[in-house]
């Protein structure tokens, strides 16, 4: 398996991966790719902060991990800058073989090279992907019912101390955390 950056030729695949990542299995609504919840992941792909990685083997794409700045900011870093949000999916017949782990690690490296302060994500608490994120160094920073927000800081072990570090009280390294 090899990894390469997402290119404009991968747009259809990003849409396919978005449908896997943004909707629970078996619950795809009609015209799902046209819903804002989906479109926010690929619309106008190629903006300056967009970064992504595709895994492929034998000419077939196996999965993708990508990040972008979203209009609705999920997390801000201690300097008040919006943190890019990521999505990840692997085609069903190649899961549990390490593809997701490698994609996520490469996206983290790509984001660090781009000098991003952090990567953020949301995930349903019941999604087994939570374990992948924890294993990859993402910390739980917020819990709204079943919806978890996780962040991986890229500036060292933790976010730098700052009086504006609005996330600091929400940044325990272990569950359980505050609801809200
Ligand atoms: C989450 C996902 C990208 C992981 O990719 P993967 O190639 O299966 O991941 P890996 O093989 O590297 O690692 C497997 C880990 O992912 C977790 N996982 C998530 N969904 C899984 C699945 N359907 N099958 C197996 N493992 C899964 C497991 O907990 C496992 O962690 P562990 O090794 O600590 O037990 C992939 O399962 C997927 O595409 N899921 C559907 C889309 C999705 O939910 N995306 C995340 C939205 S927040």
Q: Which among 174, 101, 111 is positioned nearest to 136, based on CA atoms? A: 101
> How many A from CA of 97 to the centre of ligand 1?
9
Identify the H or E element spanning 168.
Answer: none
> How many A from CA of 89 to the centre of ligand 1?
8
> How far, in Å, CA of 103 to CA of 95, rounded?
12
Protein residue whose Cα sits closest to atom 43 of ligand 1: 21
Q: Which superfamily, per CATH, for 2-170? A: Gcn5-related N-acetyltransferase (GNAT) (3.40.630.30)
The residue ranges of every structural domain in the chain are: 2-170
* Token representation of residue 68: 């972008």
> How many A from CA of 160 to the centre of ligand 1?
30
Bridge partners, 68 (sequence order): 85
Protein residue whose Cα sits closest to atom 4 of ligand 1: 100
Question: What's residue 136's pLDDT?
Answer: 97
pLDDT < 50: residue spans in the chain: 160-180
Q: What is the pTM of this model?
A: 0.88
**Between β-strands 60-68 and 51-57, what pairing exists: parallel, antiparallel or unpaired?**
antiparallel
Question: What's residue 155's pLDDT?
Answer: 82
Residue 25 Cβ inside 6 Å of ligand 1? The answer reads no
Q: Tens digits of per-residue pLDDT, 53-82?
A: 999 999 999 999 999 999 999 999 999 999
């Amino acid at each position: 398996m090899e990894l390469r950056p997402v290119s404009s030729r991968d747009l259809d695949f990003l849409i396919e991966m978005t449908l896997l990542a943004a909707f629970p299995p078996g619950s795809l609504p009609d015209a799902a790719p046209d819903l804002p919840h989906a479109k926010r992941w690929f619309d106008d792909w190629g903006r300056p902060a967009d970064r992504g990685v595709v895994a492929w083997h034998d000419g077939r794409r196996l999965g993708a991990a990508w990040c972008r700045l979203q209009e609705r900011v999920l997390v801000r870093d201690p300097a008040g800058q919006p943190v890019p949000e990521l999505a990840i999916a692997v085609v069903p017949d190649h899961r549990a073989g390490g593809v997701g782990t490698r994609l996520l690690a490469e996206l983290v490296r790509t984001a660090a090279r781009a000098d991003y302060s952090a990567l953020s994500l949301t995930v349903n608490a019941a999604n087994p992907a939570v374990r992948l994120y924890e294993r990859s160094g993402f910390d739980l920073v917020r819990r709204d019912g079943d919806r978890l927000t996780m962040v991986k800081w890229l500036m060292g072990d933790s976010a730098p101390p700052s009086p504006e570090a609005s996330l600091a009280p929400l940044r325990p390294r272990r569950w359980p955390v505050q609801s809200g």
